[in-house]
């Protein structure tokens, strides 16, 4: 079983949502089980807020940081212009809402976007769209105002973005995908986590602790300048960069934090395994009603699987 912080939190919030996302969903467009295909498509839905964060991340990871690493010049103006171009392109695609079009495969279009509000409300709130546009600009402007951070990134030996890291934890495979790994000389690397929202996530330390654990325990990738398994989790610098605030928070985690993170992995992974009743690859065939729904009614209002869930509970 593959475990991640995000799927563990979904499991704790709503086991049925977790089941749809991790077990039932099937991306194969030729599958005869149309409900599994439908679940896969619904899983593509996202809020405008989440989408605008993805736009910022794409510009930083695919344009700005590669330019820094190569020693090229890239200005705030150029980065924002690229972001606005991507924003408009993906917005146009999202407005078409091709999610349920016969023969359409989302994986065929790297810029595919599907909006939750179009699926369940039939429209996008234009005020929210324009707020998202403004926040993309603000986030990138804030990034370019962080002179110390930019200097560190420009002088690094290697910047690796969105790299999947895995390590074994009992019967689970823990997977983590840090936003940026920063390598400089023979020192322990730095992990950077971008946040594109006004309010800080109180559990950000947990996500960063899992990132550090994964980096220290995974098989080092061939392009890592130094073997990361020579470092302890506490050696790795952890930075949470709040782009809308223009602030950087250093998480100085102690052994206790990593013990708590390990306990969280163990507890939630065991609960997930028990929920699957030892089906080993056939868990998708379990009755959906075996998985309890959330106790928080508000969570349903943003759940992409709301329609298929409500069909069996109404």
Beta carbons of 165 and 214 less than 8 angstroms apart: yes
Q: How far is Cα 153 from Cα 138, in angstroms, rounded to an integer?
A: 20
List, for residues 113-136, the tens digit of each pLDDT value.
999 999 999 999 999 999 999 999
List, for residues 34-86, the tens digit of each pLDDT value.
899 999 999 999 999 999 999 999 999 999 999 999 999 999 999 999 999 99
Read off the pLDDT of each residue in 276-281 and give the average, rounded to a whole number: 82
User: What is the band of 167 on the pLDDT scale with cuts at 50, 70, 90?
Assistant: very high
- pLDDT reading at 293 higher than 60: yes
User: What is the band of 296 on the pLDDT scale with cuts at 50, 70, 90?
Assistant: confident
Q: How far is Cα 22 from Cα 300, in angstroms, rounded to an integer?
A: 18
Q: Are strands 45-46 and 114-115 parallel, antiparallel or unpaired?
A: parallel
User: What is the band of 29 on the pLDDT scale with cuts at 50, 70, 90?
Assistant: low
Which comes out higher in pLDDT, residue 218 or 281? 218
Q: How far is Cα 5 from Cα 257, in angstroms, rounded to an integer?
A: 15
User: What is the band of 238 on the pLDDT scale with cuts at 50, 70, 90?
Assistant: very high
User: What is the band of 207 on the pLDDT scale with cuts at 50, 70, 90?
Assistant: very high
Two tokens at 41? 């498509």
**Cα 244 to chain center, whole Å?**
18
Beta carbons of 139 and 56 less than 8 angstroms apart: yes
Q: How far is Cα 41 from Cα 44, in angstroms, rounded to an integer?
A: 5
Beta carbons of 58 and 162 less than 8 angstroms apart: no
Provide the whole-model pTM.
Answer: 0.93
Q: How far is Cα 191 from Cα 166, in angstroms, rounded to an integer?
A: 15
- pLDDT reading at 197 higher than 90: no
The closest of 9, 32, 31, 34 to 22, measured between CA atoms, is 9
pLDDT score at 279:
83
List, for residues 97-107, the tens digit of each pLDDT value.
999 998 888 99
DSSP class of residue 113 equals -
Two tokens at 28? 């194969």
Beta carbons of 46 and 303 less than 8 angstroms apart: no
User: What is the band of 28 on the pLDDT scale with cuts at 50, 70, 90?
Assistant: confident
User: What is the band of 31 on the pLDDT scale with cuts at 50, 70, 90?
Assistant: low
| Inter-axis angle of helices 204-217 and 255-275, nearest 10 | 90
């Amino acid at each position: 079983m593959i475990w991640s912080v995000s799927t563990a939190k979904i499991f704790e919030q709503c086991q049925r949502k977790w089941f749809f996302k991790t077990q039932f969903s099937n991306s194969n467009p030729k599958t005869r089980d149309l409900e599994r295909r439908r679940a896969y498509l619904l899983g593509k839905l996202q809020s405008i807020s989440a989408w605008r964060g993805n736009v910022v991340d794409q510009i930083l990871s695919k344009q700005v940081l590669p330019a820094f690493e190569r020693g090229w010049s890239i200005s705030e103006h150029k980065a924002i212009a690229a972001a606005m171009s991507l924003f408009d392109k993906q917005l146009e695609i999202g407005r078409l809402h091709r999610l349920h079009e016969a023969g359409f495969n989302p994986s065929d279009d790297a810029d595919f976007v599907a909006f939750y509000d179009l699926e369940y409300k039939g429209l996008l709130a234009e005020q929210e769209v324009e707020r998202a546009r403004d926040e993309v600009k603000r986030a990138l402007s804030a990034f370019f105002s962080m002179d110390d951070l930019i200097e560190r990134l420009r002088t690094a030996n290697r910047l690796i973005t969105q790299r999947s890291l895995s390590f074994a934890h009992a019967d689970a495979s823990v997977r983590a995908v840090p936003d940026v790994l920063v390598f400089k000389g023979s020192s322990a690397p730095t992990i950077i986590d971008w946040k594109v929202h006004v309010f800080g996530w109180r559990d950000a330390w947990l996500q960063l602790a899992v990132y550090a654990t994964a980096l220290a325990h995974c098989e080092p990738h061939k392009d890592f300048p130094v073997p990361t398994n020579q470092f302890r989790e506490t050696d790795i610098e952890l930075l949470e960069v709040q782009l809308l605030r223009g602030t950087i928070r250093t998480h100085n985690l102690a052994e206790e934090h990593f013990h708590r993170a390990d306990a969280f992995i163990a507890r939630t992974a065991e609960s997930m395994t028990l929920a699957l009743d030892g089906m080993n690859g056939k868990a998708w065939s379990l009755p959906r009603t075996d998985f309890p729904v959330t106790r928080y009614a508000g969570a349903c209002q943003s759940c992409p699987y709301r329609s298929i869930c409500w069909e069996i509970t109404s």
